[in-house]
């Protein structure tokens, strides 16, 4: 087979749980599809499907936005093995795709065809037994958060763990980099109460800030309880805290590094995605009597510095009013917005695609796996 050579745009977009965006360190990145067993389109959307815990059914699908076709579990097609148990994060960096798999506890590096090049397992490292969570990258290194309160500095080429910071908390979640500082959410700790013979969850209010030039803790910011999703955009850090599931609910916050890391509460949201100088938001409110969820869409205009409490979707869609929204991703090349949906069942998730102006392009009923959590966009010039 002849393998096509792909020239990427100056920045291949990617998104989080939401998700975040990261540019390659190269000015004109080029990549080929060496090792591919199948023909692939020039423009691709890789979808990370989280799967269900304990089922070993995480996967990566590949969507062709031009032909509107999908290759289910392209990772298996290319590598003849399963991705593992609970896919956590996926980013593009320096012409490669990096994937963290939580319960299987490893990071893999893939090329643009989804062919695995290398992986590192953390099973034998006593500091990293809690499981790898989220990824960020800068200056040739990956920075990974772990349950157990550890951040690891990993060589992006060799995947060797070069340094670790321990004692950062209990269960670390989302990470993002701004101005050579790594922002890390310390979400919660779990303890055992012998009197009730039950586990107790204590929701924390820590956002750790690590100076990457020294790789040491610089400061700890106080944020709303249970910080989770962390994204960087236009020089700001954006954070969603999940609350304590009782008297404290979801909270959307902004951290401004240029103002001494000032923390500002901006409203409520349960999922976000960044792009087009905006933070796209959805707030899912569930009536537990009827078990019906109602979604409210809004966005934060970063350039204008204000919340816009109206939907970023032009035409209200019945399909999204009560759906279980799992992720929002934005393609930095063309501004398209992807919204991933889940059924929290054994059936595959789905997604909607919108133009930058909020008009719907189409909905796609099958994203190739359960719980679509991240989108990575690769666009040919």
Non-local CB neighbours of 344 within 8 Å, separated by 6+ positions: 324, 371
- Helix, strand or coil for residue 128? helix
For residue 174, CA distances in Å to 133, 135, 271 come to 8, 8, 13
Residues linked to residue 229 through DSSP beta bridges, in sequence order: 240
**Number of alpha helices (DSSP H) and beta strands (DSSP E) in the chain:** 2, 31
Strand order of the sheet with strand 271-275? 271-275, 278-287, 292-301, 306-308
pTM tops 0.85: yes
d(CA 298, CA 122): 39
**Do residues 43 and 333 touch, judged by C-beta distance below 8 A?**
no
The pLDDT, as a whole number, for residue 380 is 56
At 18, the pLDDT band (50, 70, 90 cuts) reads very low
Question: Any alpha helices (H) in 301-357, and if so which ranges?
Answer: 318-321
For residue 9, pLDDT over 60 is answered with: no
**Do residues 51 and 86 touch, judged by C-beta distance below 8 A?**
yes
d(CA 279, CA 240): 11
For residue 341, pLDDT over 80 is answered with: yes
**Do residues 102 and 86 touch, judged by C-beta distance below 8 A?**
yes
DSSP 4: P
What is the Cα 337 distance to its own chain's centre? 15
d(CA 292, CA 64): 33
Q: Which two tokens stand for residue 177?
A: 């980099």
For residues 335-358, give the mean pLDDT: 94
Kindly report the CA angle at 291 between 289 and 292, in degrees rounded to 5?
A: 115
**Do residues 353 and 364 touch, judged by C-beta distance below 8 A?**
yes
d(CA 308, CA 31): 39
The pLDDT, as a whole number, for residue 315 is 76
For residues 117-141, give the mean pLDDT: 98
For residue 268, pLDDT over 50 is answered with: yes
User: Residues 91-127: pLDDT tens digits?
Assistant: 999 989 999 999 999 999 999 999 999 999 999 999 9
Q: Which two tokens stand for residue 98?
A: 């990096």
Mean pLDDT of the chain: 91
User: Residues 36-86: pLDDT tens digits?
Assistant: 999 999 999 999 999 999 999 999 999 999 999 999 999 999 999 999 999
Non-local CB neighbours of 76 within 8 Å, separated by 6+ positions: 59, 82, 83
């Amino acid at each position: 087979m002849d393998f096509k050579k792909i020239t990427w745009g100056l920045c291949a977009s990617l998104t989080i749980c939401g998700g975040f965006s990261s540019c390659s360190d190269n000015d004109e990145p080029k990549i080929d599809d060496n090792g591919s067993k199948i023909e692939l389109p020039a423009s691709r959307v890789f979808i990370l499907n989280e799967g269900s815990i304990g089922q070993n059914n995480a996967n990566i699908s590949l969507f062709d936005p031009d032909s509107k076709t999908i290759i289910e579990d392209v990772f298996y097609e290319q590598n003849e093995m399963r991705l593992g148990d609970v896919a956590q994060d996926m980013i593009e960096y320096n012409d490669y795709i990096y994937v963290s798999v939580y319960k299987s506890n490893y990071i893999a590096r893939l090329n643009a065809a989804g062919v695995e090049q290398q992986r590192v397992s953390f099973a034998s490292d006593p500091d990293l037994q809690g499981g790898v969570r989220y990824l960020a990258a800068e200056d040739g290194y990956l920075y990974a958060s772990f349950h157990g309160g550890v951040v690891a500095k990993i060589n992006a080429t060799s995947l060797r763990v070069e340094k670790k910071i321990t004692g950062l908390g209990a269960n670390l979640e989302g990470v993002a980099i701004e101005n050579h500082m790594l922002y890390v959410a310390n979400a919660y700790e779990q303890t055992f109460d012998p009197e009730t013979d039950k586990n107790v969850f204590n929701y924390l209010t820590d956002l750790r800030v690590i100076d990457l030039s020294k790789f040491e803790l610089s400061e700890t910011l106080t944020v709303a309880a249970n910080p989770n999703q962390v994204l960087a955009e236009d020089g700001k850090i954006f954070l969603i805290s999940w609350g304590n599931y009782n008297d404290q609910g979801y909270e959307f916050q902004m951290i401004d590094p240029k103002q001494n890391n000032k923390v500002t509460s901006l409203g409520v949201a349960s999922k976000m995605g960044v792009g087009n100088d905006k933070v796209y938001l959805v707030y899912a409110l569930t009536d537990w009597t009827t078990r019906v969820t109602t979604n409210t869409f809004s966005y934060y205009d970063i350039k204008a510095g204000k919340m816009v409490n109206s939907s970023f979707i032009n035409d209200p869609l019945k399909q999204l009013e009560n759906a279980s929204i799992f992720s929002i991703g934005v393609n930095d090349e063309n501004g398209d917005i992807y919204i991933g949906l889940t059924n929290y069942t054994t059936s595959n998730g789905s997604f909607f695609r919108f133009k930058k102006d909020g008009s719907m392009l189409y909905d796609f009923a099958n994203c190739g796996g359960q719980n679509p959590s991240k989108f990575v966009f690769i666009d040919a010039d």
